Amino acid sequence: MDEKFIKQISLFAENKPGHLANIASSFKEASVNIRAFTIAEAGDFGIIRMVVDKPEKAHRVLHDAGFTVSETDVLGIQMEDVPGQLATIAEVLGKKGVNIDYAYAFVTKTEKAFLIIRVNDLKTAVETLYEQGISLLDMGDVQSI
Amino acid sequence: MTKYLLCDNMIEYWNPQIERMPLDELEQIQEERLRHLVDYVYTHSPFYKKRFDEAGVKPEDIRTLEDLQKLPFTYKQDLRDNYPKGMFCVPDTQLVRYHVSSGTTGKPTVVGYTKNDIHEWAKSLGRALTSIGVGRGDVLQVSYGYGLFTGGLGLHYGAEEVGSTVLPISVGNTDKQLELMQDLGTTTLACTPSYFLYMAEEAKDKGIDFQEDTGLKTGIFGAEPWTEEMRKRMEDATGIKAYDVFGTSELSGPLFTECTCQDGIHIWGDQFIVEIIDPETGDTLPEGERGELVITTLKKEALPLIRYRIGDCTILNKQPCECGRTHPRIMRVTGRVDDMLIIRGINVFPGQVESVLMKIPEVEEHFMIHVDRINEMDTMKIQIEMNDEAFSDKVNDIISLEKKVASALKSVLNLSVGVELVEHGTIPRSIGKSKKIIDNRKL
Ligand SMILES: [Zn+2]
């Protein structure tokens, strides 16, 4: 069931100007494409989270550029109606005791909406969503969107 | 060099008669040499004659070691005031070398050496190197600065004294350091602890494993304060044994190291007398109490010093050491009397902060202390780099790590401290002395 996870790259970032430009130029050189991107801010630091088409390469490039980087398994779900479906997903997962640590949505060039969620119990979450007929993205999907 | 079999361990001594001498015999030697010293400085140094006369002490008043307390202190400022050679006790024709310490906090200080002074210095380090198992067959890479600074040449002469092969590479050019370390089979490295950490980081980036790719066994680290926790980290990361070295240019340079027991630094009693005093009152403190280190040189000819205020804070230990040496030990220096920060009336040493941080695996050893005064209130903030492995993509994990560091600091310092985790590489790496404090208080 591993293939139904998506690798998310997270970066520790102090709120310093120039950071995002550095990331963008590092990726451009390595021809890594960003699919989804969000920043969680907390006082004097932030965490940048992103889904890219080549996570291993992105990890290496960012690490070599001196960033503090980590890789996390998250779930990607294609959505028709983001707010409504998010509530449904939270409810079905909650019943199985799975908590959503955070979620963020993004829209592709083809105007499809996707939701990325991080949960505390991946295995149960995947099984539960599968039972509900909710299909999950894999890395192949991420590369092609 | 003589080898002794003590329990199961072979212990080597450079000068066993002196190093294992019973303490009372050693103190007898100190008394004799002290009496000679006060005569010598009184007759050879106009500075000390004046100092003694002002204090109302005559050389004949000093008969026993207790009488030492009657003598006035000597301060670094005295060396500056008498720049360049006003305190020397020998004519220039007797001098074979000068070292000059940088004048970052005032005028520079000049130390002159006679031929005997150079030899006594090398002998002191020769005993020390032997006590950590460094001798013939060892390659000692001296990555301290050579030149006016005493670190490079000091270790150089000490290593030659015991027959080690010296690689006088001096500080900097880390690529070359790592290359020659591998090619020439360096077994012992002498440098500042911060430079070693920097070197270890560079080696890691280049894929060099100290244990696999080098013959490095021993590190001699000094010229800036470091901690037990830092030792553990350095030893675990590189597989070497890390030893503290002590000395200052005014006393000659690096003179003493820990022995293999890693439990204090032996100060050779036949060459120096150690006292620990209260830095405020100047009173001598009993053995085991922390205070300011004061040293009297017994053998120096060109620039002997009486009760010289070193400015380092430490503890004296006269208990016999497991290595069999009887000479008194000073325990790890926790900081400089003048580096001590007073924050909301509480004394804080950067060394204390460092030792707390070293116990927290989620953070790196690089940190910076920021002190400020906001609304008449002193504030202290620590910036520290987060360990790559400890980084979580959850905001709460990082906030709770900041809280964990803050509460660990509070329990040791008795002070609320702000903690800010910063990115790897943010805190400046220093090749020389680490500058760990930014004090923005306008007093
Ligand atoms: Zn010992």
pLDDT, one tens digit per residue, over A50-79 is 999 999 999 999 888 888 899 999 999 888
Residue percentage of chain A with pLDDT more than 90: 34
Tell me the pLDDT tens digit for each residue of B219-231: 999 987 788 888 9
Which of A10, A12, A49 is facing B386, going by the closest CB pair? A12
Q: Chain A, 84-123: which have a CB under 8 Å from a chain B CB?
A: 101-102, 118
DSSP B97-117: EEEEE--TTSS-EEEEEEHHH
What's at B243, amino acid-wise?
A: Y
Q: Where are the beta strands (DSSP E) in A62-144?
A: 68-79, 100-107, 113-119
**Closest residue of A to B421, CA-based?**
A45
Q: Which carries the bigger pLDDT value, residue B7 or residue B38?
A: B38
CA A127 to ligand 1 centroid distance, Å: 64
Asked if residues B74 and B213 have their Cβ atoms less than 8 Å apart, the reply is: no
Domains in chain A, please, with CATH? Answer: 2-72 (3.30.2130.10), 74-144 (3.30.2130.10)
Global pTM?
0.66
- Specify the residue for token string 């070193």: B310
CA distance B443 to B373: 9
CA distance B23 to B332: 22
Q: Chain A, 27-46: which have a CB under 8 Å from a chain B CB?
A: 40, 42, 44-45
Q: Which carries the bigger pLDDT value, residue B10 or residue B134?
A: B134
Q: How far, in whole angstroms, is CA B189 from its chain's centroid? A: 16
For chain B, the residue count is 443
Tell me the pLDDT tens digit for each residue of B364-423: 888 999 999 888 888 999 999 988 888 888 888 999 999 999 999 999 888 899 999 988
Whole-angstrom CA distances from A124 to A7, A78, A116 are: 18, 19, 16
Q: Which carries the bigger pLDDT value, residue A114 or residue B255?
A: B255
- Mean pLDDT along residues B284-302: 93
Q: How confident is the model at residue B284 (pLDDT cuts 50, 70, 90)?
A: very high
The secondary structure element, H or E, covering residue B401 is: helix B395-413
What's at B347, amino acid-wise?
A: N
**Which residues touch B191 (CB under 8 Å, ≥6 apart)?**
B143, B144, B171, B199, B219, B220, B221
CA distance B357 to B441: 24
**Which residues partner with B317 through β-bridges?**
B329
Q: Answer whether A68 sits within 8 Å of B388, measured CB to CB.
A: yes
CA-based radius of gyration for chain A = 16
CATH class assigned to B346-439: alpha beta
Q: Could you tell me if B420 lies within 8 Å of chain A, comparing CB atoms?
A: yes
How do beta strands A6-14 and B95-101 pair? unpaired
Q: Answer whether A47 sits within 8 Å of B394, measured CB to CB.
A: yes
Provide the residue ranges of all domains of chain B, joining segments of one domain with +: 2-338, 346-439
Superfamily of domain B2-338: ANL, N-terminal domain (3.40.50.12780)
- For chain A, what is the total number of helices (H) and then of strands (E)? 5, 6
Residue percentage of chain B with pLDDT more than 70: 95
Smallest CA–CA distance, residue B371 to chain A, in Å, is 18
Residue percentage of chain B with pLDDT more than 90: 70
The pLDDT, as a whole number, for residue B7 is: 46
Q: Could you tell me if A21 lies within 8 Å of chain B, comparing CB atoms?
A: no
- Mean pLDDT along residues A101-108: 85
Tell me the pLDDT tens digit for each residue of B100-149: 987 656 688 999 999 999 999 999 999 999 999 999 999 999 999 999 99
CA distance B189 to B180: 12
**Which residues touch B36 (CB under 8 Å, ≥6 apart)?**
none
ipTM: 0.80
DSSP B314-373: E-EE-SPPTTS--S-EEPPP-EETTT-EEETTEEE-HHHHHHHHHT-TTEEEEEEEEEEE
**Which residues partner with B42 through β-bridges?**
none
Are B2-338 and B346-439 equal in CATH topology? no
Residues on chain B touching A67 (C-beta within 8 angstroms): 423-424
CA distance A102 to A119: 7
Q: Could you tell me if A49 lies within 8 Å of chain B, comparing CB atoms?
A: yes
CA A113 to ligand 1 centroid distance, Å: 70
**Closest residue of B to A46, CA-based?**
B395
Q: Where are the beta strands (DSSP E) in chain A?
A: 6-14, 34-42, 45-52, 68-79, 100-107, 113-119
Whole-angstrom CA distances from B81 to B38, B54, B84, B86, B308 are: 21, 17, 8, 8, 15
Q: Answer whether A42 sits within 8 Å of B391, measured CB to CB.
A: no
Residue percentage of chain A with pLDDT more than 70: 95
Residues on chain A touching B391 (C-beta within 8 angstroms): 10, 12, 68-70
Q: Could you tell me if B36 lies within 8 Å of chain A, comparing CB atoms?
A: no
Residue B312 pLDDT > 60, yes or no? yes
Which of B391, B399, B420 is facing A12, going by the closest CB pair? B391
CA count, 13 A, side-chain hemisphere, B428: 10
